[in-house]
Amino acid sequence: MALDRAKKEQLIADYTKGFAASGNAFVLGFRGMTVPQVDALRSKVRASGGRYQVVKNRLALIAVKNTRMETLAEHFQGSTAVAYSDSDVVGLAKVLTEFAKGADILEFRAGLVEGSAVVGTEVKAIAELPSREVLIGRLLFLLQTPVSRLVRDLGAITQQFVSVLDQVRQQKESASGAEQASQSGG
């Protein structure tokens, strides 16, 4: 189906606004996908905060010109789709690799993660990373641990100091009690 000039310009604008402007994107090859499979993949990608778009290669190459995605231009060949997300690249990679399991209908060609190009084989490694929320939680725990140890140690020092003072008081009382007993008895 031939596209008229207005439709081509609209697609280029959509591509430019979408994946070409994104810092996280994966260029995928696909073959033999049915419409229900594409719809299922789209909704899973959308649920992870991303988008999945089948692209026209010539128009996509125009859209990625002079963007970070231009480094992936050589991968826009054959049946091509782009999955992208501005927020959670790990979640997007997990969805894509999970969908690709069991069926060889998705081919990871290349990607852009936080603005840096990655090869398609690294997508599985990215998918194995913990989510952003888990990493932030771990970081906060690591930052909090030394502070809580310091507070606990300072509390222990204070408690020990009070205990030593109490022992000194008891010794003085017992010494003064023994002195008074020796003066009154002797």
pLDDT digits (tens, 9 = 90+) for 66-93: 888 888 889 999 999 999 988 888 888 8
Reply yes or no on domain 5-129 having CATH 3.30.70.1730: yes
For residue 119, give Cα distances in angstroms to 45, 112, 157, 161. 20, 9, 55, 61
Arithmetic mean of pLDDT, 16-31: 86
Q: How far apart are CA 181 and CA 186, in angstroms?
A: 8
CA distances from 3 to 6, 9, 18, 35, 101 (A): 8, 10, 20, 21, 34
> Among the listed ranges 29-33, 96-100, 119-123, which one has the minimum average pLDDT value?
119-123
Residues 30-57 have a mean pLDDT of 89
The helix-helix angle for 35-47 and 89-100 (nearest 10°) equals 150
Phi, psi (rounded to 5 degrees) for 181: -70, -40
pTM of the predicted protein model: 0.66
